Structure 1
Amino acid sequence: MDDPYKTLGVSKTASQEEIRKAYRKLAKELHPDANPGDKAAEERFKNVSAAFNLLSDSDKRAEYDAAARAGLGSQYASGGMGGGRHQRSPFNFRQGRQSGRGFDDIGDIFSDLFTDFGAAGAQQSHQPRRKGEDLRQSLVLDFMQAAEGGKHRVVLPGGRSVDVAVPPGASEGQVLRLRGQGHPSATGGAQGDALVEIRIREHKYFSREGDNVMLDLPITLKEAAMGAKVRIPTIDGDVDVRIPPGSNSGGLLRLRGKGFASAKGARGDQIIRLMISLPERDQALQEFLEAWSPADGHDPRKGLKS
Structure 2
Amino acid sequence: MARDPYDVIGVARAASADEIKRAFRKKAKALHPDANQKDPKAQDRFSELNNAYEILSDDKKRKQFDRGEIDAEGKPKFTGFEGHGAGRPGGGFAQGGETIFEDFNFGPGGFRRSSTRSTGGQGQKPPPMDDFFDILSGMSSGRAGGRGFDPFTAAEPKPAGEDITLTIKVPFLDAARGSTQRVVLPSGEALDLKIPAGTREGHRMRLRGKGKPAALGRPAGDAYVVVAVEPHPAFKVDGKDLRLDLPVALDEAILGAKVRAPTIDGEVELTLPPMTSSGKTFRLRGKGLAAADGAGDLYVTVRIVLPEPSADLEGFARLLQDRRKSDPRETL
For this structure pair, what is the TM-score category when the shorter chain's length is used for normalisation?
A: 0.5 to 0.7
Whole-angstrom CA distance in 1 between matches of 2:239 and 2:322:
40
Per the alignment, residue 237 of structure 2 pairs with: 208
Whole-angstrom CA distance in 2 between matches of 1:181 and 1:253:
46
- What SS class does the counterpart of residue 191 from structure 2 fall into? strand
Q: Give the one of 180, 188, 199 matched to 2:217.
A: 188
Q: Give the one of 279, 289, 309 matched to 1:260.
A: 289
* Residue identity in the other structure for 2:274: P
Provide the aligned C-alpha RMSD in A. Answer: 2.3
Per the alignment, residue 281 of structure 1 pairs with: 309
- What SS class does the counterpart of residue 271 from structure 1 fall into? strand
Query: Contact 1:130/1:187 (CA < 8 Å) preserved in 2?
Result: no
With normalisation by structure 1, the TM-score equals: 0.56
Whole-angstrom CA distance in 1 between matches of 2:323 and 2:160:
76
Larger Rg over CA atoms = 2
Per the alignment, residue 167 of structure 2 pairs with: 138
Change (3 A) 1:212 1:124: farther
Per the alignment, residue 91 of structure 2 pairs with: none
Whole-angstrom CA distance in 1 between matches of 2:153 and 2:310:
83
Q: Answer yes or no: is 1:218 the counterpart of 2:218.
A: no
**Which is strand-richer, 1 or 2?**
2
Q: Answer yes or no: is 1:298 the counterpart of 2:322.
A: no
**Which is helix-richer, 1 or 2?**
1
Q: Answer yes or no: is 1:172 the counterpart of 2:218.
A: no
Query: Contact 1:183/1:192 (CA < 8 Å) preserved in 2?
Result: yes
- What SS class does the counterpart of residue 266 from structure 2 fall into? coil
* Residue identity in the other structure for 1:233: P
Change (3 A) 1:123 1:218: farther
- 1:233, distance to aligned residue in structure 2 (A): 1.0
Whole-angstrom CA distance in 2 between matches of 1:243 and 1:275:
12
Per the alignment, residue 75 of structure 2 pairs with: none
- What SS class does the counterpart of residue 133 from structure 1 fall into? coil
Per the alignment, residue 272 of structure 1 pairs with: 300
- What SS class does the counterpart of residue 297 from structure 1 fall into? coil
Whole-angstrom CA distance in 2 between matches of 1:278 and 1:222:
9
Report matched runs for 1:109-124 at 5 Å: none
* Residue identity in the other structure for 1:136: T
Q: Which runs of 5 or more structure 2 residues have no equivalent in the other structure?
A: 1-146
- 1:213, distance to aligned residue in structure 2 (A): 1.7
Whole-angstrom CA distance in 2 between matches of 1:198 and 1:125:
42
- 1:123, distance to aligned residue in structure 2 (A): 7.3
Change (3 A) 1:122 1:287: farther
Query: Contact 1:133/1:193 (CA < 8 Å) preserved in 2?
Result: yes
Provide Cα deviations, 1:89-120, integer angstroms capped at 9, x if missing partner: xxxxxxxxxxxxxxxxxxxxxxxxxxxxx9x9
Give the number of aligned pairs.
185
Whole-angstrom CA distance in 2 between matches of 1:289 and 1:178:
63
- What SS class does the counterpart of residue 331 from structure 2 fall into? helix
* Residue identity in the other structure for 1:276: I
Whole-angstrom CA distance in 2 between matches of 1:131 and 1:162:
23
Structure number with the bigger relative contact order (C-alpha 8 A, sep ≥ 6) is 1
Provide Cα deviations, 1:200-251, integer angstroms capped at 9, x if missing partner: 1111212211111211101112222222110111110011011122222211
Change (3 A) 1:299 1:125: same
Q: Which runs of 5 or more structure 1 residues have no equivalent in the other structure?
A: 1-117
With normalisation by structure 2, the TM-score equals: 0.51
